[in-house]
Amino acid sequence: MSSILTDAQIQRLVDEEKVLPADWRECMNLKPAKDAQLRGKLEVMGSNGNSFIIYLRRLELDVFCFSAILAYKRLDTGTTFRLRRYNGKDHAHTNKIETDEILFDYHIHKATQRYQDGGYDEDQYAELTDKYSTINEAFGLLLDQCGFVKPLENGGLFDGTEE
Amino acid sequence: MPAKAVTNDAIVSMLREAVCRSVTTFEQGKDRYRILTPFTFPDGDRFCPILQKTGPKWSFSDDGSTFMRMTYRINDDSIMAGTRGKIIEQAIQSFGLTNTGGVLAITVNGGDFGSALYGFTQAVLRISDVALWNKHNPKSSFVEEFKKTIKDAVADQSEYQFNWSDKLLDPKQVYPVDCRISARFPLFVFGVHNEAKCDSATIVIQHYRKKIERFSTVVIYESQEEIGRKNVARLTDVADKQFASLPTAVDLKDYLYNSIAF
């Protein structure tokens, strides 16, 4: 695999089935971190053996400044590659190639081959969205759009039993 | 008909208008404005600081977004480590910013909003660029900081050797140790910046466990949380001491003197 991921490779990674662990909701309880941030993190293996990480970030001072990120751990370069980034509306965004702007509105960054070819960040391209307005909703949309499967619930041996 | 020549005065006037148009303010409450600037981060997001009044003073603030943005690329433990940290501190000091728990700000002095905004912008972009080191050369910054930390912690150059291998037990240098420090029993230090290095450090330690009777091992991760849990678990089984990110030279020195018995 070359260092640039093609659109087809990116789409396969986004679509790869990723079964969430039983405690997946834990990461939504954002914890205070250094530098005025609240954070959550979740690692998930894909059905093809690829490794993914979801990062959740929100500023303590600004509920509109957040990111829900799906990253892919690259074995060839030892780095993480951001496939999708669901951003808040605290800032404006400019798509450098298309030269269009998103002014203080929710937007989803998507990794593309053309931006990598142009020497830009892999996920510099972004699209306007009205499908979320909080970080939890953004996280939910990320799960819906990126091949995540919730684990079977009420199927465990001890589900519903009282201690 | 020949094109009408544009006078220098007209060019200067157009430049001024363009610069003025490029900065826009959006009111976000009492004495609070979001500023839209033309400056962009590497991901295409625009730098949009807050202008707010606290008591009698106006200031520009990032609310903490600069450091949050940097954590998209690098672990927060390594943001302020080594050379990165020095450049960030320099930018904060030289442009007169404050860093309050990760929130960067600059006070507007003497009503000079323009200078404060430009200085704040310049500092934030310089700080943000530090995160790009990870993209362009993920390893070199860590290696440089790893070596410097050991050199600072172990003052006597004759006591450590980088890229060491045992000439008798490993003549082909198949099992290199990132740094061997002389002590009552030798200390092997490994720098781990990715999963492949994590696995090779595990193998090297296991190899020497069979060959050498007494030695200690220290593992220093660039960012442990970026390494897979299983890789870390295997290395944890064989390593004596681990630092989740680069320690300060003082912390490493403390460990060496208190635990290793130089």
> In the prediction, which pLDDT does B143 show?
84
Q: What is the DSSP letter of B41?
A: -
Contact B42 A125 (CB under 8 A): no
Q: For residue A42, what is the nearest residue in chain B, using CA coordinates?
A: B225
Look at residue B136 and tell me whether its pLDDT is greater than 70: no
pLDDT band at A159 (very low <50, low <70, confident <90, very high): very low
Asked if B103 reaches chain A (Cβ–Cβ under 8 Å), the answer is yes
Asked if B138 reaches chain A (Cβ–Cβ under 8 Å), the answer is yes
Residue A1 lies in a domain: no
Pick from A13-22, A32-41, B114-123, B198-207: least confident: A32-41
Contact B48 A104 (CB under 8 A): yes
Q: How far is A158 from chain B (nearest CA, A)?
A: 27
Look at residue B73 and tell me whether its pLDDT is greater than 90: no
A102-128 mean pLDDT = 95
Residue B157 Rama label (left phi>0; alpha psi -120 to 50; beta): alpha
Contacts of B118 (CB under 8 A, 6+ apart): none
Beta bridge partners of A19: A149
Beta bridge partners of B57: B54
A41-50 mean pLDDT = 93
Percentage of chain B lying above the pLDDT 90 cut: 50
A92-115 mean pLDDT = 95
Burial B221-237 (b: 16+ CB within 10 A, else e): bbbbebbbeebbebbee
Other C-beta atoms closer than 10 Å to the C-beta of B106 total 24
> In the prediction, which pLDDT does A94 show?
93
Whether the CB-CB separation of B198 and B231 falls below 8 Å is answered with yes
Asked if B68 reaches chain A (Cβ–Cβ under 8 Å), the answer is yes
3-state helix, strand, coil in chain B (%, to 5): 45, 20, 35
> In the prediction, which pLDDT does B259 show?
67
Contact B226 A80 (CB under 8 A): yes
Residue A125 lies in a domain: yes
Look at residue A128 and tell me whether its pLDDT is greater than 60: yes
Number of domains in chain A: 1
Look at residue A45 and tell me whether its pLDDT is greater than 80: yes
Residues, chain A, total?
163
Beta bridge partners of B106: B60
Q: pLDDT for B199-237, tens place per residue? A: 999 999 999 998 888 899 999 998 887 788 888 999 999
Asked if B71 reaches chain A (Cβ–Cβ under 8 Å), the answer is yes
B240-261 mean pLDDT = 80
**Stated pTM of the model:** 0.70
Look at residue B31 and tell me whether its pLDDT is greater than 60: yes
Q: State which residues form the domain around A103.
A: 7-149
B46-72 mean pLDDT = 93
Q: How far is A94 from chain B (nearest CA, A)?
A: 5
Residue A162 lies in a domain: no
Percentage of chain A lying above the pLDDT 70 cut: 91
> In the prediction, which pLDDT does B246 show?
82
> In the prediction, which pLDDT does A23 show?
86
Q: Looking at B68-126, which runs of residues are DSSP E strands?
A: 98-100, 103-107
CA distances from A116 to A119, A155, B47, B63 (A): 5, 44, 22, 30
Q: For residue A80, what is the nearest residue in chain B, using CA coordinates?
A: B73
Question: CA–CA separation, B202 vs B2, rounded Å?
Answer: 76
Question: CA–CA separation, B97 vs B126, rounded Å?
Answer: 13
Residue A135 lies in a domain: yes
pLDDT band at A160 (very low <50, low <70, confident <90, very high): very low
> In the prediction, which pLDDT does B224 show?
82
Look at residue A37 and tell me whether its pLDDT is greater than 80: yes
Contact B44 A65 (CB under 8 A): no
Burial tier of B63 (Cβ tally within 10 Å: 0-12, 13-18, 19+): buried
Q: What is the DSSP letter of B257?
A: I
Q: What angle do CA B2, B8, B10 make, to 5 degrees?
A: 80
Give the count of Cβ contacts less than 8 A between chain A and B.
108
Look at residue B87 and tell me whether its pLDDT is greater than 70: yes
Question: CA–CA separation, B9 vs A33, rounded Å?
Answer: 53
Place of tokens 């200031």: B59
Contact B229 A43 (CB under 8 A): yes
Question: CA–CA separation, A15 vs B161, rounded Å?
Answer: 48
> In the prediction, which pLDDT does A163 show?
40
Pick from A44-58, B47-61, B152-166: least confident: B152-166
Residue A157 lies in a domain: no
Whether the CB-CB separation of B53 and B65 falls below 8 Å is answered with no
Residue A158 lies in a domain: no
B6-22 mean pLDDT = 89
- What tokens does B129 get? 């660029």
Pick from A13-22, A53-62, B103-112, B128-137: least confident: B128-137
> In the prediction, which pLDDT does B3 show?
67
What one-letter code names the amino acid at A152? L
Highest mean pLDDT among A122-126, B17-21, B22-26, B154-158: A122-126
Q: For residue A54, what is the nearest residue in chain B, using CA coordinates?
A: B72
B163-185 mean pLDDT = 88
CA distances from B17 to B10, B11, B23, B34, B90 (A): 10, 10, 11, 21, 33
Residue A154 lies in a domain: no
**Of A61, A78, A92, Cβ closest to residue B193:** A78
Residue A159 lies in a domain: no
